[in-house]
Amino acid sequence: MGILASVIISALLGALSFGYKSRREGAMGAALGILGGAVILGALGFCTFASDAESTEGVLGVALAGAFAWMFGAGTKAVFNQRAADLGSGEIRTGTYNLSWWWPWLLLSPTLLILVFFLYLPAYQTFTLSTKLTRLGAPRVADRCLSNFSDILVVNPTTVAIIPLIAIAAIWGIGLWNRLAMPGSTNAAIAAAVRPFGILILIFAFYFIFENENGGYRQIYVNTLIISGFTVGLAMIAGLALAYLAFGRIKGITVYRTLLIWPYAISPPVAGILFFMMFNATGGILAHVVDSFGNFVGLDVSLPNYTKSVGLARATIILASVWKLLGYNLLFFLAGLQTVPRAQIEAATLDGANSWQRFRKIVVPALGPIAFFLLITNLTYSFFDVYGTIDFLTKGAPAGATSVAIYEIIRVGVDNGDLGRGAAQSVILFLAVIGLTAWQFRQSEGRISYGST
Amino acid sequence: MKKLFGLLVAFSLVAAACSGSDEGGAEATAENPVTIQMWVAFSDDARLGFAEDRAAEFTANHPEYIVEVTSFDSYNTVFEQAQLAIDEGNPPEIIHFFEAATQEALDAVDKDGNPIFQSVTEAIDGRTEILGEEVVLGDVVSAATNYYTIDGQLYSMPWNTSSTTMFSNMDILEAAGISEPPKTWAEVETACDAIMGMPDAPSEGCITWPNHGWFFEQALGQAGANLANNDNGRAGRATEVMLNSDAALDYVQWWSDMEDSGNYLYTGTQRDWDGTSAAFQAQNVAMLVYSSSDTTALTAAGDENGFKVQSSFMPFNQDREYAGNLIGGATLWMTAGMDTATQDGALAFLNYFSNPENAAAWHKLTGYIPITNSAVSRLDGEGWYAESPNSKVASDQLDAAANTPASTGALLGNFVAIRDVVTAAIEDILVNDADVATRMQSAQDEAQSLLDDYNELYGG
């Protein structure tokens, strides 16, 4: 049954992604889709549909087949389109250099070697490891098919299958709404406004498919969303605000700028130590300040222990990460502000735009490319580099409320030596980052102008 | 292209030369000394410094050997790095490794399936003297010998060995009208009520200890309960963990009640050795259950901050018969596959390292128990115990233990991860007021599946 479902879904998605305008095209798309599904399921030895596999693994198997079908279909289509474009353009493709075929490869080889050995090979090994049970130095390796993944999902396979489908349908629905709405109508305006939030439906849907029992992945998922979301949001807003202030003509501006950029030079673990020194309830600087203040006023007040309160613990991590990112964002926003065309601002001033309007309508759009770049780097930071900060500030306390995806990967894979589960979680994080980046690229298409036109 | 190929050949030759360098069993001479690598999981000046000093002395006495000490920040890092080094064919000779991973060290094999470590007993092979250094392995105190003896032999040379003891701020206790540190849970509660009832009660609580799996295991040992089946993994490979026995639930419940009443200070993070110790040193709590490894430092901290520190046995449940506390700490493991000259050098160093003089000095420096009986009598003869009675408590506590599997401690695969499951559950109970029985049941399930995973990879 699982294989049948995989074949149907692969064929459908293959045709959908490749094109189905003619019968021939549709058939080719379906064939490509089935090929894609077969490649990945074959690589797994069709273990997802074995008699001893959990039903959730079967669901994941079908999903995987579908994803590969889509990739094969869309990938082939992209290659075809490129070929067609190349042929049609009549571009001269051979220059005056007449060298052997291996010359370009030789010139590319340093980059390729580095990519292969330090990126593709480890990535491939991570994918392989994620289907195993293994430890460093273990005499045996056991095959786990997809159970390293299904273990962190809810037990009920129907939930795992249905909820993401509903979310995808909803996103597709929003897309359809956008296409059908009469351009210029209120309906279209609402549809366009709703569109960027499609991703939130998917994010919300994932909440329901992660296991909620003690030690379940749902908590990690929520922690990661909250800590990353607030870190990136606050760091970008505060960075822009400070950059705007530090851009003005103030006495000693270079000193301010230097001091503001300083935290960028500090590593994430050191940021953790610094904030630990400040906020620690027993010996921290703030604890002393609060104590002295209490004694002075005659009140019995003391600094609460941030590691015991979910809100405070998360806030402390976010604060430390934002502080650490601020200098970096400031630097780029400052550079960006220098490219804002002064003539436009002056023209707007003459036309009677107030400072907020000038900021909103001229400065912010001009900063688009930089903001987009910062969004991606900040997200990467908040997903991967917060480990050191968390390790020194809370170690995931209280009761795992600040344990984010990367922290859990290192705890499971390195500290506990469970390479398979660690790899599986790292695949999930990898997919999340790829997904978010792809979504950001789609969102920014046509909105961000890199030119001065 | 030819040049490139030549370079490649040269490169691979160099690589081959590097990996093949430790072959052959030449004699060790002063002109051509043999290097013995010792990897230590300490990075603080005192403890790492002790190891470095002994290594230098040994090299001075035996110029045909050079003992090189490398420091790592944790036991896990040492083990991981050692496994990688073994796979590359360049292992250190001596590795410092902790008690909870004894089973994993025994099970560890290299790429070809050969054991990574060899038995120290077997390597000594009945000799009483190696390279002029007296063999002290047979003189190791019984608590350590019992813990580390597997199939009748010591696979590793015991080094830093401690137990959990309680440290009391006697100034606070006496102010509350208590003259002796409490011995049982009930006495701790009475003492804490008195202490916290004082107008100038310590600011953070009455008592604290780190939320570390070791304390949980100690409580099981005290109550005579096993952590795992097959006699705590000593009669055969452990295949079942028992995290939710009555003794275990009693302890966690008591712990949780102490936290609820405000008597126990939870510093908020798991395995928080620094935070709990700091609270005690700042006199923010009156009592600290801790590792005896810090006896010297904690006693000195009391002197510096102007309060008297008294060490006593870890409090136990008065409703259960006391079976005894277990050890903790680490031993020195010797990798397999050395040539005779290197192996003898390593063995001589291991025995020199824990000779009575060095074992006594190590004990005085830290508070880890003197590891051999002759070190104990040497310290006794010097009048050390009369001078610093706190230092005797850990040894006495270990001597008081019945030699049963429960009080010896468990041999368990994936122990570190299982400890994490225990501490995570306890944190959930302390911070989120999770129900003790339910939460420990789910911890039990999780730990059992970790053990099953481990045994699937390593078990017979």
Taking the CA atoms of residue A9, residue A12, residue A16 and residue A17 in that order, the dihedral angle to the nearest 10 degrees is 50
Between helix B415-432 and helix B213-222 the angle, nearest 10°, is: 90
B31-162+328-387 and B164-325+413-458, same CATH topology: yes
pLDDT of residue B7: 46
Give the residue carrying structure tokens 């349908």: A169
Query: Which pLDDT tens digits describe chain B residue by residue (460 residues)?
Result: 344 444 444 444 444 444 444 444 457 788 889 999 999 999 999 999 999 999 999 999 999 999 999 999 988 788 888 878 887 878 899 999 999 989 999 998 888 888 889 999 999 999 999 999 999 999 999 999 999 999 899 999 999 999 999 999 999 999 999 999 999 999 999 999 999 999 999 999 999 999 999 999 999 999 999 999 999 999 999 999 999 999 999 999 999 999 999 999 999 899 999 999 999 999 999 999 999 999 999 999 999 999 999 999 999 999 999 999 999 999 999 999 899 999 999 999 999 999 999 999 999 999 999 999 999 999 999 999 999 999 999 999 999 998 899 999 999 999 999 999 999 999 999 998 999 999 999 999 999 999 999 999 998 6
Q: Which residues of A touch B266 (CB under 8 A)?
A: 308
Nearest by CB: B416 against A134, A139, A416:
A416
Q: What is the pLDDT of residues A369-404, one digit of tens each?
A: 899 899 999 999 999 999 999 999 999 888 889 999
Contact B324, B316 (CB under 8 A): no
User: N- to C-terminal Cα distance for chain A?
Assistant: 56
Q: Which residues of A touch B437 (CB under 8 A)?
A: none
The rounded distance, in Å, linking the Cα atoms of A313 and A389 is 12
pLDDT of residue A368: 86
* Nearest CA-CA distance, residue A181 and chain B, Å: 50
Pick from B288, B328, B317: which is nearest to B224 by CA? Answer: B317
Cross-strand bridge partners of residue B38: B69, B94
pLDDT of residue A95: 56
* Nearest CA-CA distance, residue A249 and chain B, Å: 46
The rounded distance, in Å, linking the Cα atoms of B74 and A77 is 52
C-alpha dihedral sign at A253, A255, A259, A265: positive
Q: Most A CBs within 10 Å: which of B86, B237, B431, as the mutation test of the A interface?
A: B431
A206 touches chain B (CB under 8 A): no
Q: Most B CBs within 10 Å: which of A109, A135, A390, A414, as the mutation test of the B interface?
A: A135
pLDDT band at A447 (very low <50, low <70, confident <90, very high): low
Contact criterion met (CB < 8 Å) for B421 and A282:
no
CATH code for residues B31-162+328-387: 3.40.190.10
Give the residue carrying structure tokens 């009592």: B287
Q: Which residues of B touch A306 (CB under 8 A)?
A: 268
Helix (H, G, I), strand (E, B) or coil at A24: helix
Contact B420, B450 (CB under 8 A): no
Task: List CB contacts of B332: < 8 A, sequence separation 6 or more.
Answer: B38, B94, B95, B96, B97, B156, B157, B158, B159, B350, B353
**Cα Rg of chain A (Å, integer):** 26
Domain boundaries, chain B: 31-162+328-387, 164-325+413-458
Give the residue carrying structure tokens 């052997």: A100
Contact A180, A91 (CB under 8 A): no
The rounded distance, in Å, linking the Cα atoms of B231 and B403 is 12
Q: Which residues of B234-268 are buried (b: 16+ CB within 10 A; e: fewer)?
A: beebbbebbbbbebbebbbebbbebbeeebbbbbb
Q: Which residues of B touch A414 (CB under 8 A)?
A: 76, 80
Helix (H, G, I), strand (E, B) or coil at B24: coil
The rounded distance, in Å, linking the Cα atoms of B179 and A289 is 35
- Which CATH entry fits the domain spanning B164-325+413-458: 3.30.70.60, 3.40.228.10, 3.40.190.10, 1.20.210.10? 3.40.190.10
The rounded distance, in Å, linking the Cα atoms of A443 and A175 is 13
CATH code for residues A213-444: 1.10.3720.10
Average pLDDT of the residues in A53-68? 92
Domain boundaries, chain A: 1-81, 154-209, 213-444
A316 touches chain B (CB under 8 A): no
Cross-strand bridge partners of residue B168: B287, B310
C-alpha dihedral sign at A418, A221, A325, A378: positive
Pick from A176, A159, A173: which is nearest to A201 by CA? Answer: A173
A211 touches chain B (CB under 8 A): no
Q: How many helices (H) and strands (E) does chain B have?
A: 21, 14
DSSP A182: P
Residue type, A355: S
The rounded distance, in Å, linking the Cα atoms of A169 and A172 is 5
Residue type, B151: D
Residue type, B374: S
Q: What is the pLDDT of residues A140-193, one digit of tens each?
A: 899 999 999 999 999 889 999 999 999 999 998 998 998 888 888 888 888 888
Distances (CA, A) of A172 to A167, A175, A178: 9, 5, 10
Nearest by CB: A283 against B278, B428, B442:
B278
Q: Which residues of A touch B450 (CB under 8 A)?
A: 416, 418
B416 touches chain A (CB under 8 A): yes
Q: How many helices (H) and strands (E) does chain A have?
A: 21, 2
Q: Which residues of A266-289 are buried (b: 16+ CB within 10 A; e: fewer)?
A: eebbbbbbbbbebbbbbbbeebee
pLDDT band at A97 (very low <50, low <70, confident <90, very high): low
B371 touches chain A (CB under 8 A): no
Q: Distance of alpha carbon B259 from its chain centroid, rounded?
A: 27
Task: List CB contacts of A74: < 8 A, sequence separation 6 or more.
Answer: A17, A18
Q: Alpha helix (H) ranges present in B354-435?
A: 356-366, 373-382, 384-387, 393-399, 405-408, 415-432
Q: Alpha helix (H) ranges present in B285-372?
A: 295-305, 340-353, 356-366
pLDDT of residue A450: 62
Helix (H, G, I), strand (E, B) or coil at B312: strand
* Nearest CA-CA distance, residue A394 and chain B, Å: 6
A306 touches chain B (CB under 8 A): yes
Q: What is the pLDDT of residues A191-243, one digit of tens each?
A: 888 887 888 898 999 999 998 876 689 999 999 999 999 999 999 999 999 88
Contact B445, B293 (CB under 8 A): no
Contact criterion met (CB < 8 Å) for A135 and B275:
no
Nearest by CB: A416 against B86, B417, B427:
B417
Q: Find, in chain B, the residue whose alpha carbon is nearest to that of A390.
A: B269
pLDDT of residue B13: 45
Nearest by CB: A416 against B108, B269, B420:
B420
Pick from B289, B215, B207, B206: which is nearest to B252 by CA? Answer: B215
Q: Distance of alpha carbon B417 from its chain centroid, rounded?
A: 16
Residues in chain A: 453
Contact B91, B73 (CB under 8 A): no
Over 80: is that where the pLDDT of A67 sits?
yes
Q: Which two tokens stand for residue B457?
A: 């990879």
Contact B156, B117 (CB under 8 A): yes
A377 touches chain B (CB under 8 A): no
Contact B325, B314 (CB under 8 A): yes
Q: What is the pLDDT of residues A70-87, one digit of tens each?
A: 999 999 999 988 888 776
Contact criterion met (CB < 8 Å) for B268 and A306:
yes
Contact A66, A8 (CB under 8 A): no
pLDDT of residue B279: 94
Nearest by CB: B80 against A134, A136, A418:
A136
The rounded distance, in Å, linking the Cα atoms of B114 and B125 is 20
Contact criterion met (CB < 8 Å) for B268 and A136:
no
Taking the CA atoms of residue A151, residue A153, residue A156 and residue A161 in that order, the dihedral angle to the nearest 10 degrees is -120
Pick from B410, B108, B405, B131: which is nearest to B243 by CA? Answer: B410
B364 touches chain A (CB under 8 A): no
Q: Most A CBs within 10 Å: which of B427, B446, B455, as the mutation test of the A interface?
A: B427
Q: Which two tokens stand for residue A434?
A: 């790829």
B85 touches chain A (CB under 8 A): no
Contact criterion met (CB < 8 Å) for B269 and A395:
yes
Task: Write down the mean pLDDT value for chain A.
Answer: 88
pLDDT of residue A186: 87
Q: Most A CBs within 10 Å: which of B453, B454, B455, B458, as the mutation test of the A interface?
A: B453
- Helix, strand, coil percentages for chain A (3-state, nearest 5): 75, 0, 25
Q: Find, in chain A, the residue whose alpha carbon is nearest to that of B456.
A: A142
Q: Alpha helix (H) ranges present in A248-367?
A: 253-261, 268-279, 285-297, 310-337, 342-350, 355-358, 364-366
- The values of phi and psi at residue B270, to 5°, are -75, 150
Distances (CA, A) of B257 to A288, B198, B202, B427: 29, 20, 19, 13
HSE at residue A45, side-chain half, CA atoms within 13 A, is: 10
Portion of chain A with pLDDT greater than 90, in percent:
53
Pick from B288, B264, B291, B255: which is nearest to B426 by CA? Answer: B255
Q: Indicate the burial class of A451 (C-beta count within 10 angstroms; 0-12, 13-18, 19 or more).
A: exposed
Task: List CB contacts of A82: < 8 A, sequence separation 6 or more.
Answer: none
